[in-house]
Amino acid sequence: MKTVLLVDDDPATLEAWTLGMQSADCTTVLSAFDGNGALALLREHSVDILVSDWMMPGLGGALLCQTMKTNSAFAHIP
């Protein structure tokens, strides 16, 4: 089973993506409302792919990706 982490500050968008991804029986979906929440989930779970909004308050998608790619524990996650 693959694990997908979805990150978006818009609850409606996050819910739509989550429902769409959960319809695939072979996918576990995690979600966060911002980059800081995503990093917390990355520390707790093994994630296969991350899909993130680019513009979010606080830690946005660009900084989240930069943080992930400079951390050896998360750098492999597309």
Q: What is the pLDDT of residue 15?
A: 93
Task: Write the secondary structure of the chain as one string of H (helix), E (strand) and C (coil).
Answer: CEEEEEECCCHHHHHHHHHHHHCCCCEEEEEECCHHHHHHHHHHCCCCEEEECCCCCCCCHHHHHHHHHCCCCCCCCC
Average pLDDT, the chain: 92
Q: What is the pLDDT of residue 24?
A: 67
Confidence of residue 23 (pLDDT cuts 50, 70, 90): confident
| pLDDT exceeds 70 at position 54 | yes
What are the phi and psi torsion angles at 8 (to 5°)?
-160, 140
| pLDDT exceeds 90 at position 20 | no
Q: What is the mean pLDDT of residues 49-70?
A: 94
Confidence of residue 12 (pLDDT cuts 50, 70, 90): very high
- Which top CATH class is 2-57? alpha beta
